[in-house]
Amino acid sequence: MPVQWSPEHCGGAWVISGYDEVAGALRDPRFSVRRAARWINSGLGDHADSLPQRRFKRIFSRSLLFLDGRAHRRLRGILNPGFKPAALEHQRPAIEALARQLIADILAEDDARQGFDFVTRFARPLPALVIATLLGLPGRVPEAFIGWAADLAGFIGSPTPDATQTVAAQDALAALCDYFEKVLRQPQDLPPHCLLADIVQARQQQALTQVEVLAQCSTLLFAGYETTRNLLGNGLLALLRHPAQWAALKSQPQALRGAVREMLRYDSPVQYTGRRLLADITLDDQPLRRGDLAILHIGQANHDARRFSDPARFDIARDQGMHLSFGQGAHVCLGAALTQMEAEIAFTALMQAMPTLTLSAEAPSWQPAGAYRALERLPLVFQE
Protein backbone atom coordinates (compact mmCIF):
# COMPACT_ATOMS: atom_id res chain seq x y z
CA MET A 1 0.00 0.00 0.00
CA PRO A 2 1.69 3.26 -1.07
CA VAL A 3 -0.28 5.32 1.51
CA GLN A 4 -1.55 3.91 4.81
CA TRP A 5 -2.40 5.03 8.32
CA SER A 6 -0.13 3.64 11.02
CA PRO A 7 -1.10 4.05 14.69
CA GLU A 8 2.43 2.95 15.74
CA HIS A 9 4.41 5.67 13.99
CA CYS A 10 4.93 8.78 16.15
CA GLY A 11 1.61 8.25 17.94
CA GLY A 12 -0.26 7.98 14.63
CA ALA A 13 0.83 9.04 11.15
CA TRP A 14 0.27 8.42 7.44
CA VAL A 15 3.11 6.32 6.09
CA ILE A 16 3.70 7.13 2.42
CA SER A 17 5.96 4.61 0.72
CA GLY A 18 5.28 4.59 -3.05
CA TYR A 19 7.96 6.29 -5.19
CA ASP A 20 5.59 8.65 -7.03
CA GLU A 21 3.62 9.44 -3.87
CA VAL A 22 6.75 10.26 -1.82
CA ALA A 23 8.25 12.34 -4.65
CA GLY A 24 4.94 14.20 -5.06
CA ALA A 25 4.64 14.91 -1.31
CA LEU A 26 8.23 16.18 -1.13
CA ARG A 27 7.40 18.74 -3.84
CA ASP A 28 3.94 19.68 -2.50
CA PRO A 29 3.88 22.85 -0.31
CA ARG A 30 0.77 21.53 1.48
CA PHE A 31 3.15 19.09 3.18
CA SER A 32 4.81 21.47 5.66
CA VAL A 33 8.21 20.89 7.29
CA ARG A 34 7.13 22.88 10.38
CA ARG A 35 6.95 19.89 12.66
CA ALA A 36 9.82 20.61 15.05
CA ALA A 37 7.99 21.97 18.11
CA ARG A 38 5.69 19.04 18.98
CA TRP A 39 8.28 16.42 18.21
CA ILE A 40 11.02 18.20 20.21
CA ASN A 41 8.81 18.17 23.31
CA SER A 42 7.59 14.61 22.85
CA GLY A 43 10.12 12.89 25.14
CA LEU A 44 10.17 15.36 28.00
CA GLY A 45 6.70 15.27 29.56
CA ASP A 46 6.58 17.76 32.46
CA HIS A 47 10.05 19.11 31.69
CA ALA A 48 9.08 20.28 28.23
CA ASP A 49 9.06 23.90 29.37
CA SER A 50 12.45 23.95 31.15
CA LEU A 51 14.93 26.69 30.29
CA PRO A 52 17.42 24.44 28.40
CA GLN A 53 14.52 22.94 26.47
CA ARG A 54 13.18 26.36 25.50
CA ARG A 55 16.63 27.38 24.20
CA PHE A 56 16.94 24.09 22.35
CA LYS A 57 13.57 24.56 20.70
CA ARG A 58 14.28 28.19 19.83
CA ILE A 59 17.46 27.23 17.98
CA PHE A 60 16.15 24.06 16.36
CA SER A 61 12.99 25.67 15.05
CA ARG A 62 15.10 28.30 13.20
CA SER A 63 16.91 25.64 11.17
CA LEU A 64 16.14 25.83 7.44
CA LEU A 65 15.11 22.17 7.64
CA PHE A 66 12.03 23.14 9.68
CA LEU A 67 10.94 26.31 7.87
CA ASP A 68 8.66 26.72 4.86
CA GLY A 69 8.33 29.32 2.12
CA ARG A 70 10.11 32.69 2.24
CA ALA A 71 11.82 32.12 5.59
CA HIS A 72 13.30 28.92 4.22
CA ARG A 73 14.37 30.41 0.87
CA ARG A 74 16.19 33.29 2.58
CA LEU A 75 18.33 30.93 4.72
CA ARG A 76 18.95 28.52 1.85
CA GLY A 77 20.10 31.43 -0.34
CA ILE A 78 22.70 32.38 2.26
CA LEU A 79 24.13 28.84 2.55
CA ASN A 80 23.91 27.99 -1.15
CA PRO A 81 27.16 29.56 -2.47
CA GLY A 82 29.29 27.28 -0.27
CA PHE A 83 27.81 24.23 -2.04
CA LYS A 84 28.28 25.41 -5.63
CA PRO A 85 30.56 23.23 -7.83
CA ALA A 86 33.45 25.73 -7.83
CA ALA A 87 33.37 26.04 -4.04
CA LEU A 88 33.34 22.24 -3.69
CA GLU A 89 36.20 21.75 -6.17
CA HIS A 90 38.20 24.18 -4.05
CA GLN A 91 37.77 21.74 -1.11
CA ARG A 92 38.66 18.61 -3.10
CA PRO A 93 42.40 18.46 -2.23
CA ALA A 94 41.63 18.91 1.48
CA ILE A 95 39.03 16.11 1.42
CA GLU A 96 41.42 13.80 -0.44
CA ALA A 97 44.11 14.49 2.16
CA LEU A 98 41.69 13.74 5.02
CA ALA A 99 40.64 10.40 3.48
CA ARG A 100 44.27 9.41 2.81
CA GLN A 101 45.33 10.33 6.34
CA LEU A 102 42.58 8.24 7.97
CA ILE A 103 43.63 5.24 5.83
CA ALA A 104 47.32 5.82 6.57
CA ASP A 105 46.52 5.80 10.31
CA ILE A 106 44.82 2.40 9.95
CA LEU A 107 47.64 0.98 7.82
CA ALA A 108 50.21 2.15 10.36
CA GLU A 109 48.75 -0.19 13.00
CA ASP A 110 50.06 -3.77 12.88
CA ASP A 111 46.90 -5.10 14.57
CA ALA A 112 44.59 -3.57 11.96
CA ARG A 113 45.27 -6.42 9.51
CA GLN A 114 43.61 -8.81 11.95
CA GLY A 115 40.53 -6.61 12.00
CA PHE A 116 39.39 -3.02 12.42
CA ASP A 117 36.04 -1.28 12.71
CA PHE A 118 35.40 0.76 9.56
CA VAL A 119 32.72 2.87 11.26
CA THR A 120 34.95 4.11 14.09
CA ARG A 121 38.10 4.49 12.03
CA PHE A 122 36.76 5.98 8.78
CA ALA A 123 33.00 6.38 8.26
CA ARG A 124 32.48 8.45 11.42
CA PRO A 125 35.49 10.79 11.39
CA LEU A 126 35.64 11.60 7.66
CA PRO A 127 32.24 13.38 7.34
CA ALA A 128 32.75 15.35 10.57
CA LEU A 129 36.21 16.49 9.44
CA VAL A 130 34.89 17.37 5.98
CA ILE A 131 32.10 19.54 7.41
CA ALA A 132 34.60 21.21 9.71
CA THR A 133 36.79 21.97 6.67
CA LEU A 134 33.84 23.31 4.71
CA LEU A 135 32.81 25.55 7.58
CA GLY A 136 36.40 26.83 7.83
CA LEU A 137 37.47 25.10 11.04
CA PRO A 138 40.39 22.80 10.11
CA GLY A 139 42.96 22.37 12.81
CA ARG A 140 40.78 23.60 15.62
CA VAL A 141 37.95 21.11 15.83
CA PRO A 142 37.34 20.09 19.44
CA GLU A 143 37.54 16.38 20.27
CA ALA A 144 33.88 16.43 21.24
CA PHE A 145 32.72 17.54 17.74
CA ILE A 146 31.87 14.00 16.60
CA GLY A 147 30.13 13.20 19.90
CA TRP A 148 27.95 16.33 19.60
CA ALA A 149 27.06 15.41 16.03
CA ALA A 150 26.19 11.86 17.13
CA ASP A 151 24.00 13.07 20.05
CA LEU A 152 22.10 15.43 17.75
CA ALA A 153 21.70 12.66 15.16
CA GLY A 154 20.47 10.25 17.88
CA PHE A 155 17.68 12.71 18.67
CA ILE A 156 16.86 13.69 15.08
CA GLY A 157 16.85 10.05 13.98
CA SER A 158 14.37 8.91 16.60
CA PRO A 159 10.65 9.10 15.71
CA THR A 160 9.76 9.65 19.39
CA PRO A 161 12.93 10.76 21.20
CA ASP A 162 12.99 9.74 24.89
CA ALA A 163 14.13 12.00 27.74
CA THR A 164 17.71 10.66 27.69
CA GLN A 165 18.09 11.30 23.95
CA THR A 166 16.51 14.74 24.25
CA VAL A 167 18.73 15.84 27.16
CA ALA A 168 21.87 14.51 25.39
CA ALA A 169 20.90 16.49 22.28
CA GLN A 170 20.16 19.60 24.38
CA ASP A 171 23.62 19.40 25.98
CA ALA A 172 25.27 18.77 22.60
CA LEU A 173 23.50 21.71 20.98
CA ALA A 174 24.36 24.02 23.89
CA ALA A 175 28.05 23.02 23.72
CA LEU A 176 28.10 23.35 19.95
CA CYS A 177 26.51 26.79 20.04
CA ASP A 178 29.00 27.97 22.71
CA TYR A 179 31.79 26.68 20.49
CA PHE A 180 30.47 28.39 17.33
CA GLU A 181 29.89 31.66 19.24
CA LYS A 182 33.55 31.61 20.34
CA VAL A 183 34.78 30.96 16.79
CA LEU A 184 32.53 33.65 15.32
CA ARG A 185 33.88 36.25 17.75
CA GLN A 186 37.16 36.05 15.79
CA PRO A 187 36.05 36.15 12.13
CA GLN A 188 39.48 37.42 11.08
CA ASP A 189 40.87 33.91 11.80
CA LEU A 190 38.56 32.25 9.26
CA PRO A 191 39.85 31.30 5.79
CA PRO A 192 38.36 33.54 3.05
CA HIS A 193 36.44 30.80 1.16
CA CYS A 194 34.40 28.98 3.76
CA LEU A 195 30.80 28.65 4.87
CA LEU A 196 31.36 30.42 8.18
CA ALA A 197 32.79 33.45 6.35
CA ASP A 198 29.59 33.60 4.22
CA ILE A 199 27.48 33.29 7.36
CA VAL A 200 29.47 36.02 9.19
CA GLN A 201 29.04 38.31 6.20
CA ALA A 202 25.27 37.73 6.16
CA ARG A 203 25.15 38.41 9.90
CA GLN A 204 27.09 41.67 9.44
CA GLN A 205 24.61 42.71 6.74
CA GLN A 206 21.79 41.98 9.23
CA ALA A 207 20.44 39.26 6.94
CA LEU A 208 20.58 36.76 9.81
CA THR A 209 19.94 36.91 13.56
CA GLN A 210 22.43 35.32 15.97
CA VAL A 211 19.97 32.48 16.73
CA GLU A 212 19.62 31.81 12.99
CA VAL A 213 23.41 31.73 12.64
CA LEU A 214 23.73 29.10 15.38
CA ALA A 215 20.79 27.09 14.02
CA GLN A 216 22.28 26.85 10.50
CA CYS A 217 25.80 26.00 11.77
CA SER A 218 24.39 23.17 13.92
CA THR A 219 22.14 21.96 11.09
CA LEU A 220 25.10 21.61 8.77
CA LEU A 221 26.87 19.44 11.30
CA PHE A 222 24.06 16.97 11.97
CA ALA A 223 22.64 17.01 8.42
CA GLY A 224 26.02 16.21 6.91
CA TYR A 225 27.50 13.90 9.51
CA GLU A 226 25.23 10.94 10.25
CA THR A 227 23.96 10.76 6.68
CA THR A 228 27.36 10.55 5.00
CA ARG A 229 28.65 8.20 7.66
CA ASN A 230 25.78 5.85 6.78
CA LEU A 231 26.41 6.09 3.05
CA LEU A 232 30.08 5.15 3.54
CA GLY A 233 29.26 2.25 5.90
CA ASN A 234 26.17 0.87 4.17
CA GLY A 235 27.71 1.36 0.73
CA LEU A 236 30.94 -0.47 1.56
CA LEU A 237 28.97 -3.28 3.23
CA ALA A 238 26.86 -3.72 0.07
CA LEU A 239 30.00 -3.82 -2.09
CA LEU A 240 31.79 -6.35 0.11
CA ARG A 241 28.68 -8.55 0.21
CA HIS A 242 28.78 -8.56 -3.61
CA PRO A 243 32.44 -9.42 -4.30
CA ALA A 244 32.00 -9.61 -8.10
CA GLN A 245 30.77 -6.01 -8.13
CA TRP A 246 33.53 -4.89 -5.74
CA ALA A 247 36.06 -6.50 -8.13
CA ALA A 248 34.38 -4.90 -11.17
CA LEU A 249 34.52 -1.48 -9.54
CA LYS A 250 38.23 -1.82 -8.77
CA SER A 251 38.94 -2.53 -12.44
CA GLN A 252 36.60 0.23 -13.74
CA PRO A 253 36.87 3.25 -11.45
CA GLN A 254 34.76 5.24 -13.94
CA ALA A 255 31.78 3.15 -12.73
CA LEU A 256 32.06 4.72 -9.28
CA ARG A 257 29.59 7.55 -9.91
CA GLY A 258 26.79 5.11 -10.76
CA ALA A 259 27.88 2.77 -7.96
CA VAL A 260 27.47 5.53 -5.35
CA ARG A 261 24.01 6.29 -6.76
CA GLU A 262 23.07 2.61 -6.38
CA MET A 263 24.47 2.51 -2.80
CA LEU A 264 22.20 5.46 -1.96
CA ARG A 265 19.17 3.73 -3.49
CA TYR A 266 19.82 0.23 -2.18
CA ASP A 267 20.32 1.09 1.50
CA SER A 268 19.14 4.67 2.00
CA PRO A 269 21.08 6.48 4.76
CA VAL A 270 17.96 8.52 5.61
CA GLN A 271 15.01 6.13 5.70
CA TYR A 272 12.27 8.71 6.11
CA THR A 273 11.45 12.34 6.78
CA GLY A 274 8.32 13.93 8.24
CA ARG A 275 5.76 16.51 7.15
CA ARG A 276 2.64 18.08 8.68
CA LEU A 277 -0.46 18.52 6.45
CA LEU A 278 -1.58 22.14 5.93
CA ALA A 279 -4.81 21.14 4.16
CA ASP A 280 -7.18 18.20 3.72
CA ILE A 281 -6.10 16.16 0.71
CA THR A 282 -6.85 12.80 -0.88
CA LEU A 283 -3.88 10.65 -1.80
CA ASP A 284 -4.23 7.16 -3.26
CA ASP A 285 -7.91 7.30 -2.20
CA GLN A 286 -6.95 7.95 1.43
CA PRO A 287 -8.30 11.03 3.25
CA LEU A 288 -5.39 12.94 4.80
CA ARG A 289 -6.52 15.71 7.15
CA ARG A 290 -5.05 19.12 7.96
CA GLY A 291 -2.71 18.73 10.97
CA ASP A 292 -1.98 15.02 10.30
CA LEU A 293 1.61 13.85 10.38
CA ALA A 294 3.00 12.16 7.25
CA ILE A 295 6.06 9.93 7.21
CA LEU A 296 7.59 10.07 3.74
CA HIS A 297 9.38 6.72 3.55
CA ILE A 298 12.34 7.36 1.25
CA GLY A 299 13.90 3.93 1.91
CA GLN A 300 10.74 2.10 0.81
CA ALA A 301 10.14 4.43 -2.15
CA ASN A 302 13.65 3.53 -3.36
CA HIS A 303 12.51 -0.11 -3.40
CA ASP A 304 9.21 0.50 -5.19
CA ALA A 305 8.98 -2.24 -7.83
CA ARG A 306 6.84 0.06 -10.00
CA ARG A 307 9.90 2.32 -10.35
CA PHE A 308 12.97 0.03 -10.02
CA SER A 309 13.00 -3.47 -11.50
CA ASP A 310 14.02 -6.20 -9.04
CA PRO A 311 14.58 -3.52 -6.38
CA ALA A 312 16.14 -5.84 -3.77
CA ARG A 313 19.05 -6.55 -6.17
CA PHE A 314 22.21 -4.48 -5.66
CA ASP A 315 23.48 -3.55 -9.10
CA ILE A 316 26.15 -0.88 -9.55
CA ALA A 317 25.38 -0.79 -13.29
CA ARG A 318 21.67 -0.07 -12.72
CA ASP A 319 20.54 2.82 -14.90
CA GLN A 320 16.96 3.52 -13.89
CA GLY A 321 16.98 7.16 -12.88
CA MET A 322 17.22 8.92 -9.60
CA HIS A 323 16.64 7.59 -6.11
CA LEU A 324 14.93 9.81 -3.52
CA SER A 325 17.72 9.57 -0.94
CA PHE A 326 18.47 13.29 -1.11
CA GLY A 327 14.79 14.26 -1.02
CA GLN A 328 13.26 16.49 -3.71
CA GLY A 329 11.66 19.90 -4.06
CA ALA A 330 12.39 22.97 -1.94
CA HIS A 331 14.28 21.04 0.76
CA VAL A 332 16.30 18.78 -1.53
CA CYS A 333 19.63 18.06 0.15
CA LEU A 334 21.96 21.03 -0.02
CA GLY A 335 24.93 18.69 0.45
CA ALA A 336 24.11 16.24 -2.38
CA ALA A 337 26.99 17.23 -4.70
CA LEU A 338 29.40 17.39 -1.77
CA THR A 339 28.31 13.91 -0.69
CA GLN A 340 28.78 12.46 -4.16
CA MET A 341 32.28 13.97 -4.36
CA GLU A 342 33.20 12.88 -0.82
CA ALA A 343 32.00 9.32 -1.40
CA GLU A 344 33.90 9.06 -4.71
CA ILE A 345 37.07 10.33 -3.00
CA ALA A 346 36.60 7.94 -0.07
CA PHE A 347 35.95 4.81 -2.15
CA THR A 348 38.76 5.64 -4.58
CA ALA A 349 41.21 6.02 -1.70
CA LEU A 350 40.02 2.76 -0.11
CA MET A 351 40.23 0.77 -3.38
CA GLN A 352 43.75 2.07 -4.03
CA ALA A 353 45.19 1.65 -0.53
CA MET A 354 43.26 -1.43 0.65
CA PRO A 355 42.27 -3.44 -2.44
CA THR A 356 42.06 -6.68 -0.41
CA LEU A 357 39.43 -5.40 2.04
CA THR A 358 36.89 -8.07 3.02
CA LEU A 359 34.30 -8.58 5.72
CA SER A 360 35.63 -10.03 8.96
CA ALA A 361 34.17 -13.19 10.55
CA GLU A 362 32.59 -10.89 13.16
CA ALA A 363 29.15 -9.79 11.87
CA PRO A 364 28.35 -6.10 11.38
CA SER A 365 25.96 -4.59 13.93
CA TRP A 366 23.24 -1.98 13.42
CA GLN A 367 21.91 0.87 15.52
CA PRO A 368 18.22 0.65 16.54
CA ALA A 369 15.94 1.38 13.58
CA GLY A 370 14.85 4.99 13.16
CA ALA A 371 15.07 7.69 10.52
CA TYR A 372 18.71 6.77 9.93
CA ARG A 373 19.86 3.39 8.65
CA ALA A 374 23.10 3.26 10.58
CA LEU A 375 25.76 0.63 11.18
CA GLU A 376 27.12 0.57 14.72
CA ARG A 377 30.18 -1.48 13.70
CA LEU A 378 31.52 -2.81 10.41
CA PRO A 379 34.45 -5.13 11.21
CA LEU A 380 36.82 -5.61 8.25
CA VAL A 381 40.11 -7.35 7.48
CA PHE A 382 42.72 -6.85 4.75
CA GLN A 383 46.07 -8.24 3.64
CA GLU A 384 49.26 -6.50 2.50
Minimum gap (Å) between residue 62 Cβ and ligand HEM: 12
Question: Binding to ligand HEM (CB under 6 A): which residues in 159-218?
Answer: none
Minimum gap (Å) between residue 347 Cβ and ligand HEM: 13
Nearest to 220 by CA among 128, 288, 325: 128
Question: Binding to ligand HEM (CB under 6 A): which residues in 254-273?
Answer: 269-270, 273
Q: For the window 17-56, what string marks contact with ligand HEM as x by the rule CB under 6 A?
A: ----------------x-----------------------
Question: Binding to ligand HEM (CB under 6 A): which residues in 336-365?
Answer: 338-339
Minimum gap (Å) between residue 302 Cβ and ligand HEM: 11
- Out of 218, 302, 325, 360, the only residue in the binding site for ligand HEM (CB under 6 A) is 325
Minimum gap (Å) between residue 269 Cβ and ligand HEM: 4
Question: Binding to ligand HEM (CB under 6 A): which residues in 61-90?
Answer: 64-65, 76
Minimum gap (Å) between residue 5 Cβ and ligand HEM: 21
Binding flag, residue 220, ligand HEM (CB under 6 A): yes
Nearest to 161 by CA among 330, 78, 40, 50: 40
Nearer of residues 106 and 301 to ligand HEM, judged by Cβ: 301
Binding flag, residue 370, ligand HEM (CB under 6 A): no
> How far is residue 181's CA from residue 210's CA, in Å, rounded to a whole number?
9
Binding flag, residue 233, ligand HEM (CB under 6 A): no
Q: For the window 123-162, what string marks contact with ligand HEM as x by the rule CB under 6 A?
A: --------x-------------------------------
Q: How many residues bind ligand HEM (CB under 6 A)?
A: 24
- Provide the CB-side half-sphere exposure for 262 (13 A, CA): 25
Nearer of residues 349 and 374 to ligand HEM, judged by Cβ: 374
- Out of 56, 60, 246, 326, the only residue in the binding site for ligand HEM (CB under 6 A) is 326
3-state helix/strand/coil string of the chain: CCEEEECCHHHCEEEECCHHHHHHHHHCCCEECCCHHHHHHCCCHHHHHCHHHHHHHHHHCCCHHHCCHHHHHHHHHHHHHHHCHHHHHHHHHHHHHHHHHHHHHHHCCHHHHHCEEHHHHHHCHHHHHHHHHHHCCCCCCCCCHHHHHHHHHHHHCCCCCCHHHHHHHHHHHHHHHHHHHHHHCCHHHCCCCCHHHHHHHHHHCCCCCHHHHHHHHHHHHHHHHHHHHHHHHHHHHHHHHCHHHHHHHHHCHHHHHHHHHHHHHHCCCECEEEEEECCCEEECCEEECCCCEEEEEHHHHCCCCCCCCCCCCCCCCCCCCCCCCCCCHHHCCCCHHHHHHHHHHHHHHHHHHCCCCEECCCCCEECCCCCECCEEECEEECCC
Binding flag, residue 327, ligand HEM (CB under 6 A): yes
Nearer of residues 318 and 360 to ligand HEM, judged by Cβ: 318
Nearer of residues 121 and 229 to ligand HEM, judged by Cβ: 229
Minimum gap (Å) between residue 2 Cβ and ligand HEM: 18
Q: Residues in the site for ligand HEM, rule: CB under 6 A?
A: 33, 64-65, 76, 131, 219-220, 223-224, 227-228, 231, 269-270, 273, 325-327, 331, 333-335, 338-339
